[in-house]
Structure 1
Amino acid sequence: MKMMMLQIILLLTEFVLVSSYSLNSTVQCEYKTRVRRKVRAGESLYLDCPNLQCHSDTTNSSYLWFRNLSVTNQMELIGTEESERVHYHESGLYILGLNLNDTGRYITQWWYEEDQCAEYETDVVVYEEFSTDLLYPDIVQQETSEFKCPVCEYQQGSFIWYKNFSLIPNQESFIRIRKPSKQSEGIYTCVCTWEHNGTNHNTSGSRRLIFKEQTISSPPKFLLPINNSIVSADVGSEVILNCSAFFGLSVCKQCSVRWEMNGIRLSSLDGFYKLEQRQKDGTVQLVLTIAKVSESDLRSVFRCRAEGSVKVIYVLVTLKRRASVLPVILGCICTFLVFLLVGGIVKWFALDLMLFLRPIFIKLYRKEDGKLYDAYVIYQRNNLDETTSKAIGDFVNGSLLTVLESYYGFKLFIHGRDDLPGEDCMSLIEAKIQLSRRLIIILTPRASADKSSVSSEAYDLQLGLYQALVQGETSVILIQLGKMQDYTHLPLGLQHLLRKTSPLLWKDSESSPNSRFWKQVRYQMPAASSCQRSLLV
């Protein structure tokens, strides 16, 4: 009974003291601050006076708490009865079992003198469920991370921590991460359990941890343009100058790139000059567009300036009048004509060059092949009219022998000259063709092939074509005497060979050993087997 009477006396004393302050309506409290608290429904909130001195200096002070709920928009005094769900004790306000209707503005009046007071406002917003809006300010860490529970700062209680709503065991009122990394990032929630009038209440607070890698400031480095570069331009034309500098991956607040002309900074307001800046992945790009190049631009020096946190660097660019393209075109035409002329000369004298160089390479790399003759001469010797017989005789026994054997030292096998009377004709032909490096087949306009003939001239032609077309052992040189309308009168094998290789046409005017006809014959012949050369011209 005495204890109850004592409590009543204390309450009356506090009421009288509060009334003495609050009834002094002539006093206007000084407005101090306004803060905001976001909480979840179902939890409890201990709201302390936002000022540290207001919180701690309770001996000679008095407090009044009011609330202006968003539902009724009416200001009402909060009581001090601890049995009430919402009540206050000195500088602390208790809202137990929060619900959505508790959203509103709560006002603290701190009377630190009889006629002096300060007023603080706290906006409380109650959320029905968890939202990212409930998060306290993010924590950005590079090295060891340690942060306290954002609630229960002035209360005694037990603490439970969660990371992304998964329990973290064995934690206290603070959490420490010794080696933060990207895996450490997430939402950390602290649940504080505290006791009031014998009942446990929960208050939670969440904040996001962001890991930021350590960066080192580095001096800028130009990517474009090259220092002392020259850009060709025409008066009145448009020119684009690109300046790009790399400042590293760290955030550099002092980093900048700018264009200057003759030491004066350019801007987009300078008439024909337009600037456009882009920034990505530590690279700052500033594009200068000159809409119309003037004579003064050609005499000016453009400078790109890159300023980092530790260094300032420059690159110089000069505009130069574009040279006429006429000399370039003339140079290209002359070069083309020179190449055309050289190509024609090379093509015309290619045969002479090959004939000149071949003895040298043959002498260095030639291997013995066991052959006795450089060429085996095949021509029709029978069933010819007198004119054709005379023409082929003059060519074979005259020009062919004189040029190839006497002048150039080749060794030929010719029937009637190199065979002996009484020898087996067939065996002789086979042996001599095997010992020859080339076959020279002479075509005449009136030559014919008698399929039933087994003469030596028919047999050496058939055997030679077999060696050339079937076995591929011997190369053939075709020489045509006179004009021929077609080759239908020739054997099929010879016709097939003519479709693959064009014959060399003999003209009486090309009797000189240095004529083009004999150069072509020599080109198809192997290297001469004899080094003796006639002095005949």
Structure 2
Amino acid sequence: MWSLLFCGLSIALPLSVRADGCKDIFMRNEMPSANQPFAFNCTFPPVTSGEVSVTWYKNSSKIPVSKSIQSRIHQDETWILFLPIALGDSGIYQCVIKGRDSCHRIHVNLTVFEKHWCDISVSGLPNLSDEYKQILHVGKDDSLTCHLHFPKSCILDSTMWYKDCNEIKGERFTRLETKLFVSNVSPEDRGNYVCQTILLHSGKKYRVLNGITVSTTPDFRAHLIGGLIALMAVAVSVVYIYNIFKIDIVLWYRSAFHPTGTIEDGKLYDAYVLYPKPHRESQRHAVDALVLKILPEVLERQCGYKLFIFSRDEFPGQAVANVIDENVKLCRRLMVIVVPESLGFGLLKNLPEEQIAVYNALIQDGMKVILIELEKIEDYTAMPESIQYIKQKHGAIQWQGDFTEHSQCAKTKFWKTVRYHMPPRRCPPSPPVQLLQHTPCNCMAGERMGGGHEVRHALVGCLSLSGGSQLEEDAFHQGSLL
């Protein structure tokens, strides 16, 4: 008898020591609803992946949970199963996982609540659990899942779905096993849902209910992609609109926000006008009309720019090279007029004026160049390399006009393009009426204006307003009247 007792103690003592020496893995808090089935699986890879034995205990009891399927609380393989769970089942349950050379323990803290679910036969608002929270993405096809975790011995019947105590019906909703599929999700689909299923175990039926709080949502990726696409569309639209209305936008900005005062860059003129002397009478007349009449009328009189035009603004008797060299350096732009006939006699090959002007503009000062075609020029290969370079870098503006009064309006497309390439003017031009009223007075005030080409501008204006002939003006430009 004593030897049997000793043998029993020798077996039980090592088991107690090993149980007390188990390593605690973690503590889980579970809050199930009373009066319905509940199950918890004791698994923790890789601890439970090998050959191990799993035993469930309640609280600090050394007596394992029953494994009889007839017991309301019993162990089913690695699961602990409550059929159903009751308020008195609250407490701490231990799952002991023993391997050949290891022992681990998982604690489960059960807090059982009495939860009033939606009763289909009784009216009233439900007190739904927020145990599960799920999200439906607006504008997409999405689904909700009824979380049912039970061992294989439990058979689950079809699942019913309710929202705010009403059974969910309609073409947008499809039930499949434990899922509810929702097509074309809308914000109205958020709310409180209940999924209900029937659990079969050992010939008995149990009702299982899960409450789900559903919210709808910025799908982040869809909204991000949509936002990027919208941003790109806006950027492309802005660039497109700007390219179309770029000239008008820039001119409006200059007009609305133009600075006052003078530009402190040491320049006296806004542009130096370089133009050819064609042999054909018709072309020479067109060039003279554009350079000596229309350019001053629009850019100087209407827009307030100051131009230097060779053969109009230099002093008689000055050396041509000196005039050009000095005045090009005083200009902010170089305006080059080209005609098809220029290809024949070689623009910039023979005329020192053209050579010096382009050299100063392109090589020394890096001056911006405005290239104006009096007629459409298809081929620039016969042009000097400097003109070809200007054409390639800055492009060309083709003259659009017929030398009538309409062509002298600064608001036409051609003049808007020229003004866009001109430097921003600092001071607004005087009204045309004021110019007409004050010009005759300036005629008699030549000595007070300081002489030079400014005197000649006033005298030319006098000749024009007093009915002077074109011949007198031409002679004046040649210096005979001085």
TM range (shorter): 0.3 to 0.5
Flag the structure with higher helix content.
2
Flag the structure with higher strand content.
1
Give the structure-2-normalised TM-score. Answer: 0.47
